[in-house]
Homo-oligomer: A and B are copies of this chain.
Amino acid sequence: MSSTPVPIAIVGIGKIARDQHIPTIAADPNFRLAAVVTRNHPVEGVPAFATITDMATAMPEVKAISICTPPRGRLDLVREAIAAGLDIMLEKPPAATIGEAEAIAEAAAASDVVLHATWHSREAAAVEPALAWLADRTIRNVAIAWKEDVRVWHPGQEWIWESGIGVFDPGINALSVLTRLIGDTVLLETAALRFPSNRTAPIAADLTLSAGAIPIEVAFDFDQRGPQTWDIVIETDGGTLTLSAGASKMAVDGTPVPVADDPEYARLYRRFHHLVTTRTSDVDFSPFRLVADAFMLGRRETVDAFDWAS
């Protein structure tokens, strides 16, 4: 794009902001990182403010924000952004509760700002090729195995163990890909959740979902040592599709299918720019609803205490 870059601010400078958002914005000619909103984690060379309102007052040229805080308190941030007329990119998960997520959607719909409730895994390189491959095939069943070591991917991030999160922080990524591939008619049938004895969020979960007649088996684990697994296997009447490495790779009947090497966050920001340019919101909370339903219906088992260092 040759148009002027959109001045954007990041709210919440934690691991995901530093690992993905800051370098992606730096490499994207569509955006320019104009400010950050953070109390304790400044970014060198970028003006920092304590609140969105402070930032918007001091820098009215900023047109958009990317919210990267933990999920608690998102509704207040969204309201502040709307009051300042800022377009909003929202990191997943969108909120701490379904009520808060619905209130966010309603507040944005009643405003003139663009809301992009993001699911970064939907931008993984094999997702759109998989959709195209599935278009003229009938799905028979789906199996998801999403198993990683929380100690490696979220070192010391205590918010990940807040109620309602735990293994669903990575798990919701798989659910976001699933609902992109199958549509938002996926329903939760049963759930089994395993809670460490010293935590209020689950470290593992087994779910049974359905989409019409299609059975979907899901295994989430946050305590996976050795090789990490982010696989979705879809059996169809025309072969078996395997998405691996978080849907960045794809194979049909075991034979790899080449896909573009296009990083998730680069695609995510291109999409946000398109939404801002066309004044269109993208708000789909179906992955989050599946998580809420897993907590509502899930049978609970207590397992060994979790320790970051063990």
Interface on A for B, CB 8 Å cutoff?
A: 75, 96-100, 102-103, 163-164, 185-188, 195, 200, 286, 289-293, 295-300
Q: A163-B297, A295-B295 are in contact. List 19 more A-B contacts (CB 8 A).
A: A75-B187, A96-B297, A97-B289, A98-B292, A98-B293, A98-B296, A99-B186, A99-B187, A99-B188, A99-B286, A99-B289, A99-B290, A102-B289, A103-B187, A164-B296, A200-B299, A291-B296, A292-B296, A300-B300
| Most chain B beta-carbon contacts within 10 A, residue among A97, A289, A300 | A97
* A99 neighbours in B (Cβ, 8 Å): 186-188, 286, 289-290, 293
Which B-chain residue is minimally distant from A190 (CB atoms)? B163
CB pair A187 B296 closer than 8 Å = no
Residues on the B chain within 8 Å of A96, using CB:
297
Q: Measured between alpha carbons, how far is A291 from B99 in the docked complex, in Å?
A: 10
Cα–Cα distance between A298 and B164 once the two chains are bound (Å) = 8
Contact between chains at B97 and A293 (CB < 8 Å) = yes
Residues from chain B with Cβ under 8 Å of A75 in the complex: 187
The answer on a CB contact under 8 Å between A97 and B187 is yes
Please name the 10 residue pairs, one residue from A and one from B, whose CB atoms are nearest each other, closest first. A97-B293, A295-B296, A164-B296, A163-B297, A292-B292, A295-B295, A99-B187, A98-B289, A164-B297, A292-B296
Residue of B nearest to A297 (CB): B163
Number of copies of this protein chain within its complex: 2
Instruction: State in angstroms the CA–CA spacing of A24 and B163 once bound together.
Output: 43
A99-B186 Cα distance, complex, nearest whole Å = 8
Partner of A293 from the list B187, B188, B292 (CB cut-off 8 Å) is B292
A293 to B296 Cα, complex, angstroms = 8
A97: chain B residues within 8 A (beta carbon):
187-188, 289, 293, 296-297
A and B contact pairs by CB, cutoff 8 A, 21 listed: A96-B297, A97-B293, A98-B98, A98-B289, A99-B186, A99-B187, A99-B286, A99-B293, A100-B187, A102-B289, A103-B185, A163-B296, A163-B298, A163-B299, A164-B297, A195-B300, A292-B292, A292-B296, A295-B295, A296-B296, A300-B300
Measured CA separation A68–B123 after assembly (Å): 43
The residue on B at minimum CB distance from A195 is B300
Which residue, A100, A289, A293, has most C-beta atoms of chain B within 10 A?
A: A293
Q: Which residues of B contact A300 (CB under 8 A)?
A: 195, 200, 300
Report A42 CB to chain B, min CB distance, Å: 30
CB closest residue in chain B, given A200: B299
Inter-chain CA distance A310–B185, complex, in Å, is 43
Interchain CA distance A296-B298 in the complex, whole Å: 10
Residues of B within 8 A of A164 (CB): 296-297
